[in-house]
């Protein structure tokens, strides 16, 4: 009895360890609550400043905030690529807004990125090769016949559909606000539909990864 319990415990540990690692990796990429602050604060500052200052100054303030946050992240020991990624994103968005002279164009990269994400994920569904399944297979050597395992294929259809829904919702809402010339609401939509929706989709993706790993890597 005791021996069997120990065997079961070991089996549970070996089964759940890869799943935990996948979830932890996903959370690391999202950055947790602090990551949400790092990515949204420059946007909030931009939206709050643009009604009261010329556009070039507003862009400069947003970039300065992003640089300060990047410095904080580096001091906390985070990767240089993660810390500077936010700076490059804000700088690119600000560059487009400065070039066009429109504050709304600060959000243009995000709008079109959402459209691209929706098109790619939807295309993978229509091709019956859900992109999360392709990603899982690539991460595990690219040699698994995951599409022949119906529960795994179904899980990746659901996960990819969740990603498609997130991208599509972001594009529709932000494009509508962009056409309505509502800079403040664009900033709000970017914050509200950013990390929170990404986290929800990530939960579904992690579930699909865990399900496929359990079925294809831990069988017999």
Q: What angle do CA 125, 127, 131 make, to 5 degrees?
A: 50
Using CB atoms within 10 Å of the CB of residue 147, give its burial: 0 to 12 exposed, 13 to 18 middle, 19+ buried: middle
Which one has a higher pLDDT value, 22 or 68? 68
Instruction: For 219, list phi and psi in degrees, rounded to 5.
Output: -75, 135
Taking 3-state DSSP, the helix, strand and coil percentages for the chain, each rounded to the nearest 5, stand at: 85, 0, 15
Tell me the pLDDT of the chain averaged across its residues: 85
Residue 120 has what DSSP assignment?
A: H
Q: What is the pLDDT of residues 77-90, one digit of tens each?
A: 888 887 788 899 99
pLDDT given at position 12:
43
Task: Residue 162: count other Cβ atoms within 10 Å of its Cβ.
Answer: 21
Q: What is the pLDDT of residues 179-208, one digit of tens each?
A: 999 999 999 999 899 888 998 999 999 999
Q: Give the confidence band of 177 by pLDDT, cuts at 50, 70, 90.
A: very high
133 contacts 160 by C-beta, under 8 angstroms = yes
pLDDT given at position 34:
63
Q: What is the pLDDT of residues 19-63, one digit of tens each?
A: 445 444 555 554 555 666 778 889 999 999 999 999 999 999 999
Does the pTM surpass 0.85? The reply is: no
């Amino acid at each position: 009895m005791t021996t069997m319990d120990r065997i079961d415990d070991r089996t549970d540990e070996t089964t759940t360890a890869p799943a935990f690692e996948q979830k932890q990796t996903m959370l690391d990429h999202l950055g947790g609550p602090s990551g949400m602050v790092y990515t949204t604060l420059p946007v909030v500052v931009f939206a709050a400043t643009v009604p009261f200052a010329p556009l070039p100054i507003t862009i400069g303030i947003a970039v300065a905030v992003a640089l300060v946050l990047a410095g904080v992240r580096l001091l906390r020991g985070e990767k240089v690529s993660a810390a500077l990624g936010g700076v490059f994103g804000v700088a690119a968005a600000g560059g487009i807004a400065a070039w066009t002279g429109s504050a709304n164009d600060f959000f243009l990269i995000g709008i079109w990125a959402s459209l691209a994400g929706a098109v790619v994920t939807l295309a993978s569904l229509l091709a019956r090769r859900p992109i999360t399944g392709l990603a899982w297979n690539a991460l595990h050597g690219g040699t698994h016949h995951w599409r022949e395992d119906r529960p795994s294929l179904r899980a990746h259809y659901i996960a990819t559909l969740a990603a498609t829904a997130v991208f599509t919702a972001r594009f529709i809402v932000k494009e509508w606000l962009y056409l309505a010339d509502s800079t403040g609401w664009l900033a709000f939509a970017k914050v509200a539909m950013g990390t929170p929706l990404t986290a929800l989709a990530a939960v579904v993706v992690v579930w699909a990864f865990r399900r496929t790993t359990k079925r294809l890597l831990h069988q017999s």
